[in-house]
Structure 1
Amino acid sequence: MSTLARARCVFGAHPSAMDTVLAVVVLVCMVAGSFVDPHGPESVSWGLRTPDALSLALMTAGAAALAFRRRQPMAVLVVTGCVSVVESITGDPRAPVVMSAVIALYTVAASTDRPTTWRVGLLTMTVLTGAAMLAGPLPWYAQENLAVFAWTGIGATAGDAVRSRRAFVQAIRDRAEKAERTREEEARRRVAEERLRIARDLHDVVAHHIALVNVQAGVASHVMDKRPDQAKEALAHVREASRSALDELRATVGLLRQSGDPEAPTEPAPGLARLDELVATFHHAGLRVEVARTDQGTELPAAVDLAAYRIIQEALTNVQKHAGRQAKAEVSVVRVGPDIEVTVLDDGTADGEVPDGTTEGGGHGLLGMRERVTAVRGTLTTGPRYGGGFRVHAILPVKSRTDAAAQATEATGDPV
């Protein structure tokens, strides 16, 4: 680190010491300026003039006030301005007492706003220049009087420029900090959304397959002694359901692995293409399910396809858990204009129970459905049917917002 850089660090840490040193330097310059005769025999002569006691007192007062310029800039400007006016009227016109007022004006301009700088700067220039021109010993057009006007203007302009630069640098820093906070908040939001999505998938997988395992295990226990063949078939379904649960859990948890992990799953997420397989698992568990579809040939975004599949899976799981063995479910997937409608109906509940998540303290089935539908900007309605049973109805957009924007751009030829 250079000597200048070290000095800046020291003075930056101790601004009062810096102001004191500045006051001493200004006093030395004013006193030295009073001893100089620029019009001597040898162009510039030293020691030809001696300032009187009043001039020395005014110089000392003006320089001493600069030691407090950061704490009270306006008060220091008033003091140095008054000292300069008195010196302009009573003292040697070449005594540079106005130097302290120029520095005080610079400080005010650097620490306030532009309107204040204009008002205070014009007032200071007018008062000091007017006092020198109208009440001073020199003619009004003397160059010393014009120098007062010029130097006060330079002080105000320099202070305003420094303040503007500081404000510009601070604005850049604020924007950088805001951008960094925005990036961090966006990263946290994405992590929270991904955690919520994985939690929904885990809930759907576990709820569906464990419900099937529970039903088939109950059947096997019931018929084990009298119909061992049927019990073996039920146990086979239990084994198949547990294997499917493990596979889906492995695929879901595998998303948490690093991207370079060779064991990360590569199979696509389930969708409506696997609806028949899903319904077959419920058939094996003893639930009667009828399916009606008019969406053949419809290509859905991956998120919408997964949401439709999970909604049907969760709704049928709720029917299996709460509606009893004699329940019947109906599933319909219908393309209606720009949307696809998914509806799951059942014909009644056993023992007056209601589906998961509809009562206080219940599970998270319906909540997970609603979150999935909201994530793809769809709508979901659920509730009991007139005469018994329950209804789940979801309206999902066939095209995502990104796809719609891309098609609009292609149609208009005007990128947004």
Structure 2
Amino acid sequence: MTWDQATRRRLADATLAVVVGALVMAAAAFDDGTTPADYALIAAGSLALAAYRRAPRGVLAVSTATTTAYVLHAHPGPLSALPVLGAVHTAARAAHRGVAALASAVFLAGFVATCPTTREIVEQTLLLMGWFLCALVTGLADRNWQAYLRQTEQRAMEAERTREEAALRRAGEERLRIARDLHDSLTHSISIVKLQAGVAVHLARKRGEEVPPALLAIQEAGGEAMRELRATLEVLRTDEPTGTPALLVERARAAGLAVELTVTGDERPLTATVDRAAYRIVQEALTNAARHAGPAKVNVQLAYDMDELKISVDDDGGADSSCPPTPGIGLTGMRERVTALGGTLRAAPRAEGGFSVRAELPLGIPEDVL
């Protein structure tokens, strides 16, 4: 059986309360005249410690009242102070040092009142004052230590966030540099090839000659290369998605693709990393459908579960399940995004024909994953 952290804490608190109660009861068993009512008071004061995380002041009041009543009735030894010592420590740990000191004084007064001689009063008072002072100091020290750990963790998280922001900034600058280099070099070269091919086709037709198929292929490939290069440059210059999956579907419809969007579950805002990944997955899947599926129908589904987002993009195009596609840059990029988020991706032809992209993205991913 696997227990969560809260369950383990409750078990540890209950174990502490039982151990304290057992120690005090064991000591009470050696005292003459201990009655069932005394054992009940011991049990109430000790078992109350199990709730110290939720109600430290309430636990302090119950432990002090029941243990003091037990001391006044049975006149036990100093070990009877254990439940109050534990409650004082936890109250001081929760920043209730004033009421912790007051409870210590109340119990001391009750315990001293049962001492028969002046010597015992002095000895027991000094001993218990030392114990209660230690309980207060260790409670405050524990509180300060926990605060220090929280501050250290926050500083570490802030430093990590700063490093991630710097890395993202450098990555953005590198993308822009690559985009400029591609624009300055490849765009010019491809434009020259396309222009020369167009001029050659025009001159051949003007002279009444048959245009060579290779020349037409060069002209068409040049135009396709320019479109692909412009799309690549747009992606490099755009770091964040510029819309939503619904907007992508609308754009695909406007471009002539028959696509439908279905959203199920409790739709809610996503973290930036998950939102960006979902946008890119739908974008790439629709792009592939427009390029390779032909006049196909595409169905986009977004399913919001409690702990994950399921994305499905299915088309009924001509993809054959017996011929799996060779992963290109688009599919590889999708898989990298999903893997970085700890999700799963399946992109393959469907048995009934067409192509299917299915991704499962865990929700609640920290902002600095990607």
What TM-score, normalized to structure 1?
Answer: 0.41
Task: Please say which structure displays the higher CA radius of gyration.
Answer: 1
TM-score (norm 2): 0.45
